[in-house]
Amino acid sequence: MIAAADLRKSYKDQPALRGVSFSVASGELYAYLGPNGAGKTTTIRIMTGLTRPDSGTALVAGRDLLRDPKAKAGVGMVAQTINLDMELTVAENLDIHGRLFGMSRTRRREKAAEWLGRVELSGRADSQVKTLSGGLRRRVMIARALMHEPAALFLDEPTVGLDADIRRQIWALIKDLQASGVAIFLTTHYIEEAEALADRVAFLRDGLITATDTPRNLIEAIGAWAAVDLTGKSPAAFFQERADAMAHAACQAGGVAVRPTSLEDAYLRAMGSGVLEPDACLEAKAGPAATTTSGGAR
């Protein structure tokens, strides 16, 4: 499992993390969402032992990353950038990783064969990495990160820049890893990716976690239905009942669509997107009992 308690970190008096706490159970996928500069990279660097926090604790599989050198053996990391050795073969990249973690030659061969099979790259073991597509390189990075059988896997934008069909293949692989009991910590700018994969989602803003819950609960907290201005001139309004959303749309001059609320809507609200107050037309039609979550319960 993964656990962080009151992590704080500043760079030249500029706070990056201001008291972040979370936990990820074995077999759970935890998505960590926020804009650039929110503190996601700092969090991952601390949780993988690359950066020391100013204060707080970071545990993986019950071991303190800040005090126990062996704790890093419980961590697997897939970085946002491709950091494989392009001139080496797929198998050689995995073998070097195994050596760094003190694995025996026999064990390295066994685990390389196992993980290349899991990521469907058994037939490319002797291929130079530079000959592989971006999607296949991502698979190699995942296999490499799991060579030493870590309890926790950190995925930093694992599908960035990949085509939609390749992204879906990576999603399937991630879900398979989760089912095997690995605790997974995911950062992504693809909000639909978090909605599809995560058991729980955290919204990070200015170094603070502002909300943590299941994707469904985060969506329902703002309203199950969205009335969206197709011109983009006004923010969306959110309603618990479809009838209220339709009534709101009918009050507008035109160009308003009603659809189910998404996690992206909840994320944008959490990041400070504009709030649309209910208009007089809707209140007159729905009566004083009308409720909209775009501006809170009424």
Residue extents of the structural domains in the chain: 2-213, 218-286
Instruction: Locate all alpha helices (DSSP H) within the chain, ordered by sequence.
Output: 40-47, 90-100, 105-118, 134-146, 164-179, 191-197, 215-222, 242-251, 263-270, 280-286
What is the structure's pLDDT at 283?
A: 53
pTM above 0.75, yes or no: yes
What is the structure's pLDDT at 282?
A: 53
2-213 topology per CATH: Rossmann fold (3.40.50)
d(Cα 196, Cα 36) in Å, to the nearest integer? 22
What is the structure's pLDDT at 294?
A: 43
Ranges under pLDDT 50 in the chain: 277-278, 280, 284, 288-298
Per-residue pLDDT tens over the stretch 13-67? 899 999 999 999 999 999 999 999 999 999 999 999 999 999 999 999 999 999 9
Identify how many contiguous H helices and E strands the chain contains and give both numbers: 10, 13
What is the structure's pLDDT at 160?
A: 87
